[in-house]
Structure 1
């Protein structure tokens, strides 16, 4: 019974992550296909990247598969110039890594992790990511203007460096890791505001 509950919960949380990736991308880029089809495709593909997530040997590879899946969605499902697609692709990847980084940082002692604590942390951080995306979507819809190609290229530097920071194995304390993640989030939010003001 517990295994079934864990499976259903894992599918729900994976689908939720797929939904907010689809929501973010479709908010900032112009779809080539129907929105319902894109959301379905995105959720299914993101769920695919979660297969065998508990295997330590596959976790890093699945991260890279997530990167490839999102890149494929951005390239084949949207219109628009490559620099704009690249910028929003990098931003989605940053949000994904931010979520994972904050989740890991909140688990101070892996030997004492309680299942319920992990689930509550995951849901809380996912809800935080959703709030950020809704806020950016609202801000974008009320202040949208176009940017030149070179501006998208310049703005892509911030999420790219943030991704590098989150992926590099720095030896931060739990407190430092949380504040580094939040600091990077603030910098990136200010960066994306530039695209809409």
Structure 2
């Protein structure tokens, strides 16, 4: 069983227009606080990101925000977090998120959310980490993306083993259970470090 004491959540800095997405973010944050899971996220006080942080903090949970210096200047940073880490750039931000988190969840979001999701799953595929990655498919938000991933498998660009690295569910509780039950894949021979 995977120990999940810190989970990084990728999600939108906008709230969107589907109330189910905000409701799922609230539910996820509530479970984090109940289970003593620290939220690691992008440090914004707005959108789905803000909902997550506020909900965890209101329930006396812990929140670590990681934000590059240039985004702090846009005054979207949440200044009431348990811990705020400032990085030099976006790449350093993602590296810090990967290093301190035990797992990752993508909620609905935009380009940035997808970029973070696909980079972290590529790192898992390459054996750069062995942590579970969940996709919360709130109200069918990711149906088309899942269909695209299935097409990538059918067309021979993604193996079924790599496709199955992404844990998908519509239920917050079920997704967390899948993450706890996650077993990291065996690395292919060409990725294993050579013994000297």
Regarding TM over 0.5, the answer is: no
Scaled by the length of structure 1, the TM-score of the pair is 0.26
Higher strand share: 2
Task: From the two aligned structures, give the one with the greater helix fraction.
Answer: 1
What's the TM-score once normalised by structure 2's chain length? Answer: 0.26
